Chains A and B, each alone.
Chain A
Amino acid sequence: DAGITQSPRHKVTETGTPVTLRCHQTENHRYMYWYRQDPGHGLRLIHYSYGVKDTDKGEVSDGYSVSRSKTEDFLLTLESATSSQTSVYFCAFWTGANYGYTFGSGTRLTVV
């Protein structure tokens, strides 16, 4: 555990249902991120946050929303899951230019 945990680790959900993924950090970092990893695309930024209630969109934000009501928690919500959102989702916080991000262990989401 590098000070960041994601839950759940695995989830299977049906098309059209809402899904919330949770990211929790214990190191009081301001900057947090949600990425998705897909074959052939690498890691793509979904949303990010520069602090409590301060969030912005990344390059693949359609169909996703986020909330950050406390420094330690960054939630990613799929309002109505689609099969194209089947992916592995990673949360991260920023540790500085030299080291970049510390990532969580990921959530594997399958939408059927």
Chain B
Amino acid sequence: DQQVKQNSPSLSVQEGRISILNCDYTNSMFDYFLWYKKYPAEGPTFLISISSIKDKNEDGRFTVFLNKSAKHLSLHIVPSQPGDSAVYFCAASVETSGSRLTFGEGTQLTVNP
């Protein structure tokens, strides 16, 4: 049972344009959502998070949107830069059940110069 799903294995955008990465979840108990970025031969690194009490969180070029009714979140990167090329994982947790994260399959973002 894949509780967190990223349906797009890959995404290619032009430098300067917007990148939109999507994530769907099935467990309505999830109350924290996070995005991680992963470069080759490195561990994933935290990018941005959002609590279920919010519908938007912004940090510089990165914005995460949460639609609880649709059980959907998205990560917007504006403007996209070649250095953003990486695998992006969305993750979710149920705060009251402890600290385990459930991850999606990942989306490979390629930003072309």
Contacts and interface: CB of A to CB of B under 8 A. Distances in A.
A94 B43 contact: no
B42 A105 contact: yes
A43 B36 CA distance: 11
Nearest to B31: A97
Contacts of A106: 41-43
| Band of interface residues on B | 20 to 34
Interface stretch (B13-21, B74-82, B101-109): B101-109
Given A42-B89, A50-B98, A100 B42 contact: no
Contacts of B106: 42-43
Interface in A35-54: 35, 40-45, 48, 50
Nearest to B33: A100
A100 B41 contact: no
Contacts of A40: 9, 105
B91 A100 contact: yes
Interface residues of A, number: 25
A96 to B, nearest CB: 8
Nearest to B91: A100
Contacts of A42: 4, 6, 89, 103-106
B99 A94 contact: yes
B110 interface: no
A92 B99 CA distance: 11
From A40, A43, A48, A104, residue with most partner B Cβ within 10 Å: A43
Interface of A: 31, 33, 35, 40-45, 48, 50, 58, 90, 92, 94, 97-106
Given A45-B101, A97-B32, 7 more contacts: A42-B89, A42-B105, A42-B106, A43-B103, A98-B32, A99-B34, A106-B43
Interface of B: 4, 6, 9, 32, 34, 36, 41-46, 49, 51, 89, 91, 93, 95, 98-106
22 contacts: A42-B4, A42-B89, A42-B103, A42-B106, A43-B91, A44-B103, A45-B101, A58-B100, A90-B43, A92-B43, A97-B32, A97-B93, A98-B32, A99-B49, A100-B32, A100-B36, A100-B49, A100-B91, A101-B46, A103-B44, A104-B43, A105-B43
